[in-house]
Amino acid sequence: MHSTGPFTETKRAKRIRFVVIGISIISVIFAFTVQNQLLVSITKDKKQEQMITSSVKPDGITEVAMIKNRDNQSFLVLYEVEEKSFKFNTKSYVKIQTPISSILYDRQDRLWMKQKDKWVRLNQSLEKVEFNESSPEEKGIDKRILKTTKKDNVYKAKLKYDHNLVWSNTFTSNPIQTVPLDKEQEVWLVLFQNGETKVITTT
């Protein structure tokens, strides 16, 4: 004879318990799936854009800061450019953990980056040394405008300064940014949409 006391589980109660457990497991799996999809969506939305900035210092040394994407990771790299050969020598680099929306040099040739609506000053080792809510005064800010047209898979780019043509060139990739590498502004670094770069001259 089977006991039917208050602590004895009937077949119906056991069946209901298994159903409840099954529903709970399905709910947890669904929650994890939604969470993972949300994280993937957030990651895609926060994809790091590539960008460049340069500073031609009074002593003739040119520095270039560049954001590069490689192997699904983003890096901020600081280069020193040799004056005559325009060879790029890596000074330092850091992996980007928080997306950077802008990089620039101020009038004192100090490098800044913008993260989460805050400006951060970096030293030569790309360590954070100062924080600011407002934008620093950018060095060399002027009326440079880069315009690009595409025809037959060829991009024709024109850089103008105050309505005057600085250089004109054609490329097989889409140029999105350009910065000078010398005081005379005869040598320029061009950044393309695919992340590649190219040094060009105006002469």
Q: Distance (Å, rounded) from C-alpha 202 to C-alpha 186?
A: 5
Structure tokens at 129: 């040394």
At 41, is the pLDDT very low, low, confident or very high (cuts 50, 70, 90)? Answer: very low
- Is the dihedral angle over the CA atoms 138, 140, 141, 145 positive or is it negative? negative
Residue 161's pLDDT is what? Answer: 84
Q: Which uninterrupted H or E stretch holds 147?
A: strand 144-151
184 closest CA partner among 56, 59, 89, 54? 56
User: Any bridge partners for residue 200, and if so which?
Assistant: 188
Q: Name the pTM for this structure.
A: 0.74
Sheet holding 128-132, edge to edge: 102-105, 111-115, 118-122, 128-132
| pLDDT greater than 80 at residue 99 | yes
| pLDDT greater than 70 at residue 46 | no
Q: If DSSP codes are grouped into helix, strand and coil, which group holds residue 141?
A: coil
At 92, is the pLDDT very low, low, confident or very high (cuts 50, 70, 90)? Answer: very high
Average pLDDT of the chain to the nearest whole number = 84
Q: Distance (Å, rounded) from C-alpha 55 to C-alpha 28?
A: 53
Q: Distance (Å, rounded) from C-alpha 64 to C-alpha 87?
A: 11
| pLDDT greater than 50 at residue 43 | no
